[in-house]
Amino acid sequence: TQPREIQNEHVRVLFDPLTGHLKEIQNLDKSISLPVFQSFYWYNASIGNDETPQASGAYIFRPNSSEPIPISGSKQVSTYLVKNRLVQEVHQNFSSWCSQVVRLHVGQPYVELEWTVGPIPVADGWGKEIISRFETTLQTDARFYTDSNGRQILERRRDYRPTWNLSQTEPVAGNYYPVNSRIFIKDKKFQLTVLTDRSQGGSSIFDGSLELMVHRRLLYDDNRGVGEPLVELGANKQGLVVRGRHLVLLDTVESAADQHRLLAQELFMAPYTVLAPGGGPSYRRG
Amino acid sequence: PGDSSVLREAVAVAQHHDAVTGTEKQHVADDYARQLAAGWESCQLLVANALASLSGSKENFIFCNALNISVCPLTEVAGRFTVILYNPLGRHMSWPIRLPVNGASYAVTDPQGQPVPSEVVPISNFTHRLRGDGSSAMRELLFQASAPPLGFSTFMVSRMSRGDPRVPPAQTPAL
């Protein structure tokens, strides 16, 4: 039996009891419910094709298909639920190298997704670019929003550039944009915002969806100058394992910025912990 | 003596577009990482000096760089330790603290000596796999800590033994 929900005083997260995937987020303060399916996929890195010999590499993201492949091949995710007073978590295992903890701390008005990805297997000869994708019912009209190098939030439109007529030749890569701290989608009423803990690439490949690239491991050089494939190895000579967090906010369009601006500050300038053995030092109030 | 210039230089070097975007050669990536690690090590001394100066006592301050994968040799073995939380924001902050531990129950007190609600939760299997033999902790101590704007808070943590009147009734996590 898979877990059905976790909840604190602000948010409820529902899971599909059959597949274990996240399936709905509810903002209890505003009585908002939004179906949200979230899972991990990989794009198969291009090694070049008839149109152009361009391979995916350090500089260039170029999948060989617009359809990413689900990491949980059977479409079922094994899960484990931990419910306590201060935290409720669902641990999701997508594969031997991809997992996630969906977490609600007491008092927090957002959902925390802590993902762990890697080492990406490449023994099959395919470079892989891993994404976390959110699918919702929001009517987004080909629009999504990303921050731009830590500056203003910019509207992005799929297959469109505001200052020239675009002939789109790369339906996925041509719609990817830098995400430095946040990406969001919205309709006339509601907004789904995802805050990142590091710079990533992100997009909305179809209406109501939002995705972020969390890791990649490639086997070919893209011939743009670096001269080697992006196949970084860890200390144990395997591919790198990365762990990061996405914070997910669901709110009305009018009040979403009140939440994501403050939360992004907290993420960017997070408190730092120092430890000392024993009783440690005492501090005067001053 | 602590020195922040080592980290300043490392961060300055890492402003190069190859470092920002990850388009550098592997041996250059390794060197960026080496410089940043050396810079942070030097800054840790600086922070420890500042804390010692503020408290008026020289302590053995510990910086656990691998807390994101639940590795911290001090909290895994110590029966009593102090958590110092620095808040770089200009407003009051409340933040969840997770520390790897091996005990079953702990008492946490805030800077005023008041008890802080805490609990011990299991570490995920993913984290166990990730750490390899880098840590023995099976659980994490979790509590909500708060800190003033641009300031520190200190929290005392002590492991409780069975029969301790402060031990809360055991809670069985729903599995």
Average pLDDT over residues B117-124: 91
- Tell which phi-psi region holds residue B113, choosing left (phi > 0), alpha (psi between -120 and 50) or beta: left
Determine the residue of chain B that is closest to A234 in CA distance: B30
Do B67 and A282 touch, CB atoms closer than 8 A? no
Task: Report chain B residues whose CB lies below 8 A from the CB of A241.
Answer: 130
Nearest-CA neighbor of A124 among A201, A47, A193? Answer: A47
Is the CB of A278 inside 8 Å of chain B's CB atoms? yes
Selected residues 237-266 of chain A with any CB under 8 Å from a CB in chain B:
241, 243, 265-266
Of the partner residues A107, A228, A243, the one whose CB lies closest to the CB of residue B25? A228
- Separation between Cα atoms, residue B56 and residue B80, nearest integer Å: 21
Of residues B170 and A53, more confidence is placed in: A53
pLDDT in tens, chain A (286 residues): 566 899 999 999 999 988 999 999 999 999 999 999 999 999 999 998 888 899 999 999 999 999 999 998 767 898 989 999 999 999 999 999 999 999 999 999 999 999 999 999 999 999 999 999 999 999 999 999 999 766 789 999 999 999 999 999 999 999 999 999 999 999 999 999 999 999 999 999 999 999 999 999 999 999 999 999 999 887 778 899 999 999 999 999 999 999 999 999 999 999 999 999 987 666 555 4
Instruction: Determine which of B20, B24, B26, B157 to mutate to test the interface with A (most A C-beta atoms within 10 Å).
Output: B26
A192, containing H or E segment: strand A190-196
Question: A272 and B85: CB-CB below 8 Å?
Answer: yes
Those residues whose C-beta lies under 8 Å from the C-beta of residue A20, and which sit 6 or more positions away, are A2, A3, A76, A77, A78, A79, A92
pLDDT exceeds cutoff 50 at B108: yes
Cα pseudo-dihedral B128, B22, A214, B8, rounded to 10: 60
Other beta carbons within 10 angstroms of residue A73's beta carbon come to 9
Cβ A272–B88 below 8 Å, yes or no? yes
Angle, CA of B128, A76 and B68, to the nearest 5°: 25
Does the structure show a pLDDT above 70 at B174? no
- Could you give the 3-state DSSP secondary structure of residue A263? helix
Confidence band, pLDDT 50/70/90 cuts, at residue B131: confident
Please, what sign has the CA dihedral across residues B3, B23, A264, A134? negative
**Residues of B in Cβ contact (< 8 Å) with A56:** none
SS3 content of chain B, % helix, strand, coil (to 5): 35, 25, 40
- CB of A228 within 8 Å of a chain B CB? The answer is yes
For B174, the 3-state DSSP assignment is coil
Residue in the block written with tokens 């995710």: A77
Closest CA to B127 of A80, A216, A211, A276: A80
Cβ-based neighbours of B65, under 8 Å, separated by 6 or more:
B40
- Residue A200: its pLDDT value, please? 94
φ and ψ at residue A130, rounded to 5 degrees:
-95, 135
- Give B32-65 pLDDT, tens digit per residue: 999 999 999 999 999 999 888 887 777 789 999 9
Judged by DSSP in three states, B151 sits in: strand
HSE on the CB side for A117, CA within 13 Å? 22
Query: Is A87 in Cβ contact with B121 (below 8 Å)?
Result: yes
Average pLDDT over residues B7-33: 93
pLDDT of residue B136: 77
CB contact under 8 A, B59 and A276: yes
pLDDT in tens, B59-100: 789 999 999 999 999 999 999 999 999 999 999 999 999 999
Token pair 């409720």: residue = A88
State the average pLDDT for chain B: 87
pLDDT at site B172: 40
3 state DSSP class of A164: strand
Answer yes or no: are the C-beta atoms of A221 and A231 closer than 8 Å: no
- A37 to chain B, minimum CA–CA distance in Å? 22
| Cβ atoms A131, A147 nearer than 8 A | no
Which residues fall within 8 angstroms of residue A174, CB to CB, at 6 or more apart? A159, A166, A168
Tell me how far apart the alpha carbons of residues B2 and B123 are, in angstroms, rounded to a whole number.
35
**Is A99–B126 a contact, with Cβ atoms under 8 angstroms apart?**
yes
> Per DSSP, which regions of B52-173 are E strands?
80-87, 93-101, 106-109, 115-116, 118-122, 139-147, 151-159
Cα distance from A187 to chain B (closest Cα, Å)? 31
The beta-carbon neighbor of B86 closest among A99, A243, A274 is A274
Q: For residue A85, give the nearest of B21, B23, B117 by CB distance.
A: B117
pLDDT at A67: 95
> Are A281 and B57 a contacting pair at CB < 8 A?
yes
Per CB-CB distance under 8 Å, the chain B contacts of A266 are: 89, 93, 95
The pLDDT of B103-117, averaged and rounded, is 93
Angle in degrees, 0-180, between the axes of helices B26-55 and B5-13, rounded to the nearest 10:
150
Q: Which residues of A touch B171 (CB under 8 A)?
A: 84-85
Cβ-in-10-Å burial (0-12, 13-18, 19+) of B68 comes to middle
**Among B37, B95, B128, which residue's Cα sits nearest to residue A116?**
B128
- Residue B56 has what pLDDT? 78
Question: Strand, coil or helix: what is A122?
Answer: coil
d(CA A260, CA A150): 14
Q: Which two tokens stand for residue A38?
A: 């979230």
The owner of tokens 């024993």 is A278
Give A139 to chain B, closest Cα distance, Å: 32
Cβ distance B93 to A275 less than 8 Å, yes or no, reads no
Chain A residues in contact with B24 by the CB 8 A cut-off are 226
Structure tokens at A232: 């970084």
